[in-house]
Amino acid sequence: MTIDVTPVSGSLGGLVSGVDLCDLDDARFGAVEEALWRLQVLVFRDQYLAIDDHLALGRRFGPLHTHPAVAGVEGHPEVLRLRNLGKEKTITQVWHSDVSCEREPPSISILRAVEVPPAGGDTLWANQYAALERLSPGLRAILAPLRALHRGFGLEATHPVLRTHPETGRQALYVNGGFTYAFEGMTERESRPLLDYLVGLGSSLDLTMRHTWAPGDVVMWDNRCVMHYAIHDYDDAPREMHRVTVCGEAPV
């Protein structure tokens, strides 16, 4: 089974057409998974998922994750509601991998546009396989044995800096600006310059894709090999997104 997928940038991401996310037989779902492992981020237009459809789609990938700190929509703790609370309170305007402060961080995130601002509110994703490939052999050898500390929402975990993807077997850079704060065995001050360098490199514009949201859009991404960043450039305009996140494994 093949599905129609058009690349959306030179580095990662694909726009999938001709697929109804509420009506995916096993063959089509397999093709979606294959495209996700290959392209890391998939965009679907005109889906208008109900909450139950969104949950059912997430469960095709595995058990659903419940956010450790942010309440879900009423009656559905696995559906995270991300509303505009004003720029000062935005927690997603930073390059991050979802909830990497957990020992077993989520694998797949599926975000659905519920209400979009009249302009702005785009999301960016960055390819962390390609970020790793961009490092010199010397720096890669230094990073290979290192683990990094991630904290947030009152949680803390250590993960390898180079993470092997369980589906593709490829290695990706796995540090981010939202949660990673030090390398194991080093102070925060010692760690900061290299962490800043790695997150900066990992978010180089030519490693990114950008999505401008419209009602009905659904975007799914693989937190094990991308970082993402939600741009808050819409003042107090309403923006509401619902996110369903799939439980992941301890990074190796």
Binding residues for ligand SIN (CB under 6 A): 82, 92, 98, 109, 111, 123, 228, 230, 241, 243
Residue 187 burial (C-beta neighbours within 10 Å; 0-12, 13-18, 19+) = exposed
- Among 23, 35, 100, 42, smallest CA distance to 217 is for 42
Return phi, psi of residue 130, to 5°. -70, -35
DSSP letter (8 states) at residue 65: P
Nearer to ligand SIN, 174 or 183 (CB): 174
Active-site residue, 228 included: yes
Nearer to ligand SIN, 17 or 212 (CB): 212
The residue annotated as part of the active site, out of 54, 65, 67, 96, is 96
The residue annotated as part of the active site, out of 112, 228, 239, 242, is 228
Nearer to ligand SIN, 92 or 164 (CB): 92
User: Shortest distance, CB of residue 137 to ligand SIN, whole angstroms?
Assistant: 33
CB atoms within 10 A of CB 154: 8
The residue annotated as part of the active site, out of 65, 98, 217, 232, is 98
Q: How long a stretch of residues is the chain?
A: 252
User: Shortest distance, CB of residue 25 to ligand SIN, whole angstroms?
Assistant: 28
Nearer to ligand SIN, 179 or 183 (CB): 179
Return phi, psi of residue 131, to 5°. -60, -45
Active-site residue, 96 included: yes
In sequence order, which residues have a C-beta less than 8 Å from that of residue 95 and are 6 or more positions away? Answer: 126, 176, 177, 178, 199, 202, 203, 227, 228, 229
User: Shortest distance, CB of residue 111 to ligand SIN, whole angstroms?
Assistant: 6
Nearer to ligand SIN, 57 or 162 (CB): 57
CA 151-189-135 angle, to 5 degrees, is 80
Q: Which helix (H) or strand (E) holds 4?
A: strand 4-7
Taking CA atoms, 169 is separated from 155, 163, 222, 224, in Å, by 28, 9, 14, 11
Residues taking part in catalysis: 96, 98, 228, 243
